[in-house]
Amino acid sequence: MLERDTYKDKVKKYIIDLILNQKLLPGDQIKEKDLSQTLGISRAPIREAFKELIAEQILEYIPFKGTYLKKISSKKALNIYITRGLLEGYAVAESITYNLKNQDKLKYLVDEMYASAKRQDNIQLIELGDQFHNLLFKGCSNNIILSETKRFGLLCHLLFFSFWPKIYTPSQIRDRHRKIIEVLKSKDRANIESVIRDHYFETGKRIAIIIERGDYE
């Protein structure tokens, strides 16, 4: 039974967990009735969660059919990563002073990401990556940029979860994130933005190639 004041958010988390555990795959239908029975709640918070996940482009509603986990095309995947890189690049550049005070925390998270990748603990890897990138732009004061960065971040994390073993080794994951930590020390805003943009573009490009080829297994 879910706590009444957090129904909608917990429904969202439940759906994301279904995706991460591959119990809900692209193109699969997800029904209000089934969730209501499973979670023991009314359909109202489920509709709210669906509405937000549709806005975040994770679910899609097809008239007269229902709600489905959205399929992402290769072009869409690349555009998601390009957009996240642009947004995060700006936000991180705005957070230089904050990040210089958190070098040890960032290094710790990278080391933990590497360890998680080596033991193929995909869910922990995604959670640690989320912590790393959220910390990078936490010092940005532009709330609109922050909101949009996080929105695209969820899409990126779900895609990365599915594809990372085919595009990077654990060592590459570690080295790519260490590069971000190093560029922060330069305090060069343009260079920081460039490194962040490239970080996302490279991943988006690799994922797009896999989707284009249909090479999922």
15-34 confidence digits (pLDDT tens): 999 998 889 988 999 999 99
Closest CA to 140 of 87, 186, 185: 87
Collect all residues with Cβ–Cβ distance below 8 Å to 25 and sequence separation of at least 6. 69
Distance of CA 160 to the CA centre of its chain: 7
Closest CA to 26 of 195, 116, 159: 159
**Residues 70-123 pLDDT 10s:** 999 999 999 999 999 999 999 999 998 888 899 999 999 999 999 999 999 998
Domains of the chain: 4-69 (1.10.10.10), 74-213 (1.20.120.530)
Collect all residues with Cβ–Cβ distance below 8 Å to 52 and sequence separation of at least 6. 8, 12
Name the residue with higher pLDDT: 162 or 116: 116
Q: What kind and span of H or E run contains 62?
A: strand 59-62
Q: Is 122 helix (H, G, I), strand (E, B) or coil?
A: helix
**Residues 192-207 pLDDT 10s:** 999 999 999 999 999 9
